[in-house]
Amino acid sequence: MRLRNIPGADEAILNSEYCIKEPESKKGNWQSVFSSTQPLHIEIGMGKGRFIMDMAAAHPDINYLGIERYSSVLLRALQKMEETPMPNLRFICMDAADVTEVFAKDEVSRIYLNFSDPWPKDRHAKRRLTSRQFFARYDAILKPDGRLEFKTDNQDLFTFSLEEIPEAGWHLDASTRDLHHDSVLNEGNIMTEYEEKFSSKGNPICKLIASR
């Protein structure tokens, strides 16, 4: 569910040192944004930023970019970042469909998709972040040995995603429909805001890992 519009959100993002303006200008040179040259992981649809901020704190040897389309949502992450700055984390306000305009070939080591919009109507299938159309975009920016990790509580979207992986020419490395009771895939799991909310209601969390 989208947050209501927050007055001043666009201006705050424009003025924040933690949000990259004109990200297309960084294509092929994202390492210059960070203080250290390290593997680059991105989260597409980062919401209010809990997951990627916890990841950045837990893995200082990795650079992270959080991508969020809606400024009113991204603002929450920026406010948290102001309180606890991290040198290995930055944000981008942009549409996920434009990732190939922002990242160069082999520039990204890992992609995270967490509780993405399910776009339940069939005619909107290509808008789903796990559609074959999006897998083609990820293929253009992900390193040969890179991987994609996806979590959701939406069973229909998860089934769709499992079916799209081979159609996109990708390989399913691992999957579960009950992450929190999977001792292997749940090891080291960092939860998102939605994950904590849904799992507390008894909703099983699905996860898959895919590569080329």
Q: Give the active site residue among 106, 117, 139, 182.
A: 117
Give me Rg for the CA atoms of the chain: 16
Numbered residues of the known binding site for S-adenosyl-L-methionine: 43, 68, 95, 117
Q: Which two tokens stand for residue 135?
A: 């897998």
Cα–Cα dist 210/212, whole Å: 7
CA 121 vs CA 65, 111, 187: distances in Å: 30, 25, 34
Q: Is the pLDDT of residue 192 over 90?
A: yes
> What is the average pLDDT score of the chain?
94
Q: How confident is the model at residue 63 (pLDDT cuts 50, 70, 90)?
A: very high
Q: Write down the H helix ranges in 42-192.
A: 50-58, 71-83, 99-102, 132-141, 155-167
Numbered residues of the known binding site: 43, 68, 95, 117, 121, 153, 192-195
Cβ-Cβ contacts under 8 Å for 83 (sequence gap 6 or more): none
Q: For the residues 86-93, what does the mean pLDDT come to?
A: 97
Cα–Cα dist 41/119, whole Å: 25
Nearest to 148 by CA among 130, 132, 166: 130
Q: How confident is the model at residue 12 (pLDDT cuts 50, 70, 90)?
A: confident
Catalytic residue status for 117:
yes
State residue 4's pLDDT score.
Answer: 58
What is 105-115+136-212's CATH number?
Answer: 3.40.50.150
Cα–Cα dist 209/212, whole Å: 11
Helix axes 50-58, 71-83, angle to 10 degrees: 30
Contact between 90 and 46 under an 8 Å Cβ cutoff? The reply is no
Q: Which two tokens stand for residue 70?
A: 């809606």
Q: Which two tokens stand for residue 126?
A: 């290509």
**What does pTM read for this prediction?**
0.94
For the domain made up of 1-103, give the CATH fold.
Answer: Rossmann fold (3.40.50)
In the chain, where does the domain assigned CATH 3.40.50.150 lie? 1-103, 105-115+136-212
Instruction: Report pLDDT digits (tens) over 123-147.
Output: 999 999 999 999 999 999 999 999 9
Q: Which two tokens stand for residue 95?
A: 């549409």
Side-chain-facing half-sphere of 81: CA atoms under 13 Å: 26
Cα–Cα dist 99/121, whole Å: 24
